[in-house]
Structure 1
Amino acid sequence: MMLYRRASQAGGTYFFTVNINNRKDTLLTDHIDLLRDCVASVKQRHPFRIDAMVVLPDHLHAIWTLPTNDSAYASRWRMIKTSFSRKLPKSEVISQSRQSRGERGVWQRRYWEHLIRNNDDLERHMDYIHFNPVKHGYVGNPSEWPYSSIHRYIQRGWIDNDWAASGEIDTTCFGER
């Protein structure tokens, strides 16, 4: 078994990209209420703050801040993914490797995590999250995508409803890094 080096800072703020296994599927938006319930359940038992989040049909991006003495984001993701998978009807193809481990074939095993280093890094990743539905061609304006924390930011007056469409940000910096 290969061990992966992950950032680990108690109380840290992290950016995540988490993908479903079949990137042509639309499980996350088809079952958005189930995903929300799974996240809320884990969040209630193992608190963390969701600073930003967007859910697309086949992947999601999130920024979480963990409690001061806690760096266990991996266990939270494992619980969310496990709960979501168990509550879905079995329709996916499950590889022999996953079958031997008793796993479903819903999620990719690994995910991307990045420890946010400063306010500029945080702002860049929040912008990336909120612009992502436009990047993938689902909508023309980020505020048109229903599964995004951008609505909370608009409601609180932190950004305008036409953010990104108004040209106030440089969207050319939103390439994959």
Structure 2
Amino acid sequence: MYEYRKLSPQQQAEIVQQRLAKGYPPHSPPHPIKNQEYYLLTASCYEHKNRLNSSQRRQELLNLLFENLTIHNLEIIAWIILPNHYHLLAKNIKFICLSQQLRLIHGRLARQWNLEDNLSGKVWHSFSDRAIRSERHYYTTLNYIHYNPVKHSWVKSPYDWKESSVHWYFQDKGREWLRNCWVEYPVKDYGKGWDEN
């Protein structure tokens, strides 16, 4: 996303033409695989700014995601809400409905936070999705989500981050299940480069 800004106008035009030739939108993340059961959904704050800078804001976003997405039969299986982005592992996605709901949620929060922070301008970048291809990919994604606050140096342990489904899994399945999942499906380089400028 940020590399595009460094390109010449001619290079930008070439990239847009390549995207259009593939049937992708000119600038938004493409959503080419639409027939899988599970997806990793990611949305980030514009330019990775820390607009989700309080536990209250992160919890508010999480509540809105559950309220607005689950009524459309989308099941949120795992989540992490960080100061500048979030990840959801979700099931039963209808992409048109998902896009509409995320626009509503993000738009409402952008307006509210801009007023609270006495700012104006863009708050969110478009969401992206990755189809989950296998059982290994599913559990590695689950671990990636739970490990994300450690990866980004917000905490030393996944259990120290409040807005995470790791606590639900701990309560429902126990620490040993989580530990075994981590050993059997290690994160390694999963996600490397996804959120680099």
Shorter-chain TM-score bucket reads: 0.7 to 0.9
What does the per-residue CA deviation read over 1:86-118, in whole Å, with 9 as the maximum and x for residues that have no partner?
A: 241434432xxxxxxxxxx1210x322111111
Aligned equivalent of 1:59, options 68, 75, 85: 85
CA distance in 1, matches of 2:151, 2:134: 24
Instruction: Could you tell me which runs of 5 or more consecutive residues in structure 2 were left unpaired when the two chains were aligned.
Output: 1-15
Unaligned runs of 5+ in 1: 95-104
Shift of 1:47: 1.4
Q: Tell me the secondary structure at the aligned position of residue 83 of structure 1.
A: helix
Letter in 1 for 2:160: E
C-alpha contact 2:31 2:129 (8 A) present in aligned 1: no
Deviation at 1:176, TM superposition (A): 1.5
Task: State the distance in 1 between where 2:145 and 2:70 align.
Answer: 23
Asked if structure 2 preserves the Cα contact closer than 8 Å seen for 1:12 and 1:65, the reply is yes
Q: Does 1:14 align with 2:31?
A: no
Among 135, 144, 149, the alignment partner of 2:165 is 149
More helix by share: 2
CA deviation string 1:104-148 (max 9, x = no partner): x1210x322111111111011111111111000011111111111
Residues 146, 158 of structure 2: 8 Å contact kept: yes
Aligned mates of 1:60, 1:146 — CA distance in 2: 13
TM-superposition CA deviations, 1:45-76 (whole Å, max 9, x none): 3111111111100000111000xxxx413532
Please give the alpha-carbon distance, in whole angstroms, between the structure 2 residues aligned to 1:129 and 1:20. 17
Q: Quick one: distance in 1 between partners of 2:175 and 2:95?
A: 28
Distance in 2 separating the partners of 1:32 and 1:133:
13
Task: Give the 3 Å change call, closer, same or farther, for CA 42–174 of structure 1 in structure 2.
Answer: same
Q: Does 1:119 pair with 2:119?
A: no
For the residues of structure 2 that align with 1:160 and 1:7, how far apart are their CA atoms? 34
1:10-89 alignment runs, 5 A limit? 12-27=37-52, 29-66=55-92, 71-87=93-109, 88-89=112-113
In the other structure, the counterpart of 1:93 is 120
Count of residue correspondences = 159
Percent of aligned positions with the same letter in both sequences? Answer: 21
Instruction: For 1:77 and 1:152, locate their aligned partners in 2 and report how far apart those are by CA, in whole Å.
Output: 26
The offset of 1:173, in angstroms, is 3.2
Contact 1:38/1:84, CA 8 A, preserved across alignment: no
Check 1:41–1:116 CA distance in 2 against 1; reply closer, same or farther (3 A cut). Answer: same
- State which structure, 1 or 2, has the greater radius of gyration over its C-alpha atoms: 2
Equivalent-residue separation in structure 1 for 2:147 and 2:70 (angstroms)? 28
